[in-house]
Structure 1
Amino acid sequence: MKRMGMNEMNRKAVEIMKYWDPFAIGSESYGQEIGNVITQLQVLDHPSELAKTIQTSYEYSFGKWIPLEQCVDISYKLIALKFEAKHII
């Protein structure tokens, strides 16, 4: 059984965030926001905390509000990825 490294986790997290595209403007438009979320993923372990970070970061950059439920959905995927990286599956 192989353990996922942090670099691989970060790469997969970026892919998840790029695929999300909450404003349907193209994944290349979210570089800074994705970077902010990946940085916070390193220190946050609770999906609701990460969801609030996602919501705030995107709202600050784009001036558009994302319902927290959508942010929670993506944060659960990211936290699951982090859990997988920390543990041998």
Structure 2
Amino acid sequence: MNSMQDTNIKLMECLLSWDPLGYGTDSYETEVVDVIEAVHRYDDRERLARRIQSIYEFSFEEIIPLPVCQKKASELLMIKNSGTCEL
């Protein structure tokens, strides 16, 4: 498996286990795909966090607090930059 596929799988696993709004971890498939796209687009934690926040807000009309999004953005950028998820 190439490193991009491996990274995407790790990003997906990290996001699919996240339940930021309490709907259950199986409620966010569409958002996971959008967030993975954003991870590849942004290298800045703040911009990525705001994008994550807007993706979930658009879908669920609820706002995830920015510090929660910043923490997840940091984790995702760590995976993207190192290829591992250290949680």
Q: Which residue of 1 aligns with 2:76?
A: 78
Q: Which residue of 2 aligns with 1:13?
A: 11
Identity %: 34
How far 1:23 sits from its partner (Å)? 1.1
Q: Which residue of 1 aligns with 2:67?
A: 69
Gaps of 5+ in 2: none
- Within 2, Cα distance between the matches of 1:18 and 1:39? 15
Q: Which residue of 1 aligns with 2:53?
A: 55
Gaps of 5+ in 1: none
Question: RMSD of the TM alignment (CA)?
Answer: 1.1
How far 1:28 sits from its partner (Å)? 1.4
- Structure with max Cα Rg: 1
TM-score normalised over the length of structure 2 = 0.89
- Within 1, Cα distance between the matches of 2:66 and 2:14? 17
TM-score normalised over the length of structure 1 = 0.87
How far 1:14 sits from its partner (Å)? 0.8
Runs of 4 or more consecutive aligned structure 1 residues displaced over 4 Å after TM superposition: none
How far 1:20 sits from its partner (Å)? 1.4
- Within 1, Cα distance between the matches of 2:7 and 2:62? 28
How far 1:27 sits from its partner (Å)? 1.6
Tell me if 1:38 matches 2:54.
Answer: no
The structure showing larger relative contact order (alpha-carbon pairs under 8 Å, at least 6 residues apart) is: 1
1:19-30 residue pairs with structure 2 within 5 A?
A: 19-30=17-28
